[in-house]
Amino acid sequence: MKNIMKYKGYWAEIKYSDEDECFCGEIEGLKDSSISFEGENVKELKKDFKDAIDHYLQACKDTNTEPEKQCKGSLNVRLGVELHNKTKMKSIEKNISINELIKEAITAYLKTN
C-alpha cells in the first residue's frame, strides 16, 4: 500500500530517499506550481507538507490567483476498440451515457477495494 498524506484538499505520495536519508514528497498534478517537502522523521515531514501547502495558498491569495486543483474532474480514458464497443453497448442497454457507466464502474470498484 502506498503512503499518502492529505491536507486542505491536496495529497502527495510519500517516498523515502536513501541518498538524502529523509522522507519526501511532491504535490502531483499541478501544471504551474511545484510543491515539494521533506523531513527526517514523520513529525518533520507532516509539518513541512502542511507549511508548503499553506505557503502555496497564501502566495495565490497574495497574487489574487486561483489555486490549482490536482484533479480537474475529467480525464481521457483509452479503452481500446473492443472494450469501447462493449462499454457503448452496455451504456445503451442501461440507457445512460458512457461517462455515467464509467463513473458507476469506478465507484463500485472503489467500494470493494
Q: Three-state SS for 42?
A: helix
pTM assigned to the model: 0.74
Contact 12, 24 (CB under 8 A): no
pLDDT tens column, 37-56: 999 999 999 999 999 999 99
Burial environment of residue 37 by CB neighbours within 10 A (0 to 12, 13 to 18, 19 or more): buried
Between 34 and 104, the more confident residue is 104
pLDDT exceeds 90 at position 9 = yes
